[in-house]
Structure 1
Amino acid sequence: MIHSAALDAMSPRDVHDVLALRVAVFVVEQRCAYAEIDGRDVEPGAVHWWSRHDDGVLTAYLRVLVEPGVHRIGRVVTAPAARGTGAGAALMRAALTTLPGPVVLGAQVRVQGFYERLGFTVDGPGYDEDGIPHVPMLRGPTADLQERGGSSWM
């Protein structure tokens, strides 16, 4: 089941599970020692999206931030046990249906194809973020939501 809410409207359990997943993947699995809780979760207009399996286990998460002229998707993460199931792609599609565009994100290069299948294109030179190669990506207001070929990485 897919959910979305501002941080203040999330249950304590949802907040805990989301932060635990983000830390487990971004800090521990990817070995990036940085402040995962960056203060942006509570910004005006920030919307958190998460999905749970029928048994209640958190499967995927992302957040949407409002920036001048665009929405920014970030912190896209799928639980290790849910990777390859389509949970991440389903969550992205659900969030994108609510965003008129343009939408931007910073993609890890290794998963750039995942975002391309969702209508994003590279929009500038690559960069290093915490030792991981990234590219800026953009999805214009007219991009369709049909995933383009292949299976999801999530």
Structure 2
Amino acid sequence: MNLSFTVKSFSELSNEELYELLRLRSEVFVVEQNCVFLDQDNKDQKCHHLMLWEGKEMVGYTRLVPAGLSYGEMAIGRVVTSPAARGKGYGRVLMEKSIEQCQEIFGVGPIRIGAQTYALGFYSSLGFMAEGETYDEDGIEHIEMVWKP
């Protein structure tokens, strides 16, 4: 595994990095999941962006969201791994780094996610606990989950 990661604020992203992360998000959320939605929601500019690389290829990405922007707590959103890189454990590496970086950037505290319900077991294995009722977001069933330090 030749993996590395970078975390940058929006203003620190290069044009190439921004293009790659938006392309990856579109590849999975719009094309693969057949979900028509406005991905650019004016939150990216206030977030940090964690990019997981295998060599020079972006194989995973998360958006690290400060408290108060999406939820009362800090959050991890837009969790995505490249279809070509699945089955290698990169999702776990991506989320572990995202939790670590949220705590480093925003301070120690709980982290909230809006998880697609099919991934409930995966997020539970990382210490997230389901909270509340399931809800529909863009035609996909979700549930909020919280990780506590």
TM-score computed with the length of structure 2 as normaliser: 0.89
Secondary structure in structure 2 of the residue aligned to 1:77: strand
Count of equivalent residues: 138
Equivalent AA in structure 1 for residue 61 of structure 2 = Y
Corresponding residue number in structure 2 for 1:150: none
Q: Following superposition, which runs of at least 4 residues in structure 1 exceed 2 angstroms of deviation? A: none
2:6 aligns to what?
3
Q: Which sections of structure 1, spanning at least 5 residues, go unmatched?
A: 142-154
Query: Equivalent residues in 2 for 1:2-21 (5 A)?
Result: 2-21=5-24
Which residue of structure 2 lines up, in the alignment, with residue 88 of structure 1? 91
1:58 aligns with 2:64: no
Work out the CA distance in 1 between the residues paired with 2:48 and 2:132.
Answer: 26
SS at match of 2:109: coil
Q: Which amino acid aligns with 1:116?
A: S
Distance in 2 (alpha carbons) for counterparts of 1:101 and 1:77:
23
Aligned residue number for residue 136 of structure 2:
128
Matching residue's letter, 1:123: E
Greater share of helix: 2
Q: Greater shift after overlay, 81-90 or 124-133?
A: 81-90
User: 81-90 or 18-27: which moved more?
Assistant: 81-90
Deviation, structure 1 residue 84:
1.2
User: Counterparts in 2 of 1:1-154, with a 5 A limit?
Assistant: 1-43=4-46, 46-54=47-55, 56-68=56-68, 69-98=72-101, 99=103, 100-141=108-149
The RMSD of aligned alpha carbons is: 1.0
- Does the Cα contact within 8 Å between 1:61 and 1:88 map onto a contact in 2? no
SS at match of 2:36: coil
TM-score normalized with structure 1 length: 0.86
Give deviations 1:77-103, integer Å, cap 9, x for gaps: 000011111112112111212322200
